[in-house]
Amino acid sequence: MNNIKDRVQFNSSADTYDDDFTFSNIGILQRKRVYYWLNQIDFFSTQKKIFEINCGTGYDAEQFHEKGHTVFATDVSDGMVTYAKEQRSDEINFETQSFQQVAQDSELSNYDTLFSNFGGLNCINPNQLFDFLKGVSSHQKKGNQLILVLMSKYCLMENIYFFLKFNFRQINRRNTNTGVEVNVKDEQVKTYYYLPEEIAQLLKPNYKIELIKPVACFLPPSYMEPFFKKHKKVLSFINRLEHFFGRFTFMAKWSDHYIIVAERK
Ligand SMILES: C[S@@+](CC[C@H](N)C(=O)[O-])C[C@H]1O[C@@H](n2cnc3c(N)ncnc32)[C@H](O)[C@@H]1O
């Protein structure tokens, strides 16, 4: 197995992550789109045991808990896990675990769903991702669910943004397999972008793909928050575009994030 580096990132952003992303105008709308798709697959209709990876500050874990699900939430960052334990319900189990540890955790077989929101898996390279999914599939049972929200190699809104800034070199910045250094609160986070079809291809031998949809094909990436904070009407219009065009699967690869739902065969 390739070493899924336990390099602890996101520690310095833990305390400000909710303000910077979770409760930002863009973050709220993007997360609503994730929940829209979860509702479409009746995710909330029956109580589930959910194993969450890259849980960050535990916002989703708390939403799921409040809706009656049982959640075990993990993240590699001690800073994130400490924050989540302090801020969220005591009834949720938070634990520091890297993807590599999760992939070797036979406890996974006791959970109905493995959930990963907002690009945690974009922090590992293609070989590591292959090993991670292989490990997870070896523990999950027939009928178990995988729900992953990832960042794509193309992003329409980002392309428009760089085009308008005459920054043509950046337009294709995500489209590489060698990773891109992204600045997160002064930490350099190596980020690997994946097309929905690349993930589907990896999952195909062991999973039935149930759904692939855009999460943010017109909603912009979160770094555009300062602009849209001042132009909320524009963001609200864009959100309406998202509701219309976000139904088209072919837009997933052009989106900042997309959701993929798969069932273990
Ligand atoms: C963009 S945040 C997403 C947080 C949260 N899921 C959300 O919806 O807001 C990405 C998270 O992935 C976690 N992460 C990065 N590399 C990881 C790894 N190798 N193992 C486990 N978690 C990792 C980071 O610590 C961070 O909390």
Mean pLDDT by 10 residues, the chain (265 residues): 52 88 97 98 95 98 97 96 96 97 95 98 97 98 98 96 94 93 86 98 98 98 96 97 96 98 98
| Number of separate domains in the chain | 1
Domain range for 99 is 14-264
Which helix (H) or strand (E) element contains residue 52?
Answer: strand 49-53
What's the confidence (pLDDT) of residue 164? 94
Beta-bridge partners for 187: 184
77 burial level (CB within 10 Å; 0-12, 13-18, 19+)? buried
| 230-239 exposure pattern, b = at least 16 Cβ within 10 A, e = fewer | eeeeebeebb
Q: Which residues contact 238 (CB under 8 A, 6 or more apart)?
A: 218, 219, 220
CA 241–ligand 1 middle distance (angstroms): 28
Any atom of ligand 1 within 6 Å of the Cβ of 4: yes
Tell me if 2 is assigned to some domain.
Answer: no
What's the confidence (pLDDT) of residue 10? 80
What's the confidence (pLDDT) of residue 8? 58
Strand, helix or coil for residue 171: coil
Tell me if 96 is assigned to some domain.
Answer: yes
Positive or negative: CA dihedral 43, 35, 206, 56: negative
Tell me if 4 is assigned to some domain.
Answer: no
What's the confidence (pLDDT) of residue 186? 77
What's the confidence (pLDDT) of residue 2? 42
CA 169–ligand 1 middle distance (angstroms): 28
Tell me if 195 is assigned to some domain.
Answer: yes
Q: Which CATH number covers residue 70?
A: 3.40.50.150
Tell me if 218 is assigned to some domain.
Answer: yes
Tell me if 243 is assigned to some domain.
Answer: yes
Looking up tokens 């039935």, which residue turns up? 208
Tell me if 7 is assigned to some domain.
Answer: no
Any atom of ligand 1 within 6 Å of the Cβ of 9: yes
What's the confidence (pLDDT) of residue 183? 84
Tell me if 72 is assigned to some domain.
Answer: yes
Any atom of ligand 1 within 6 Å of the Cβ of 79: no
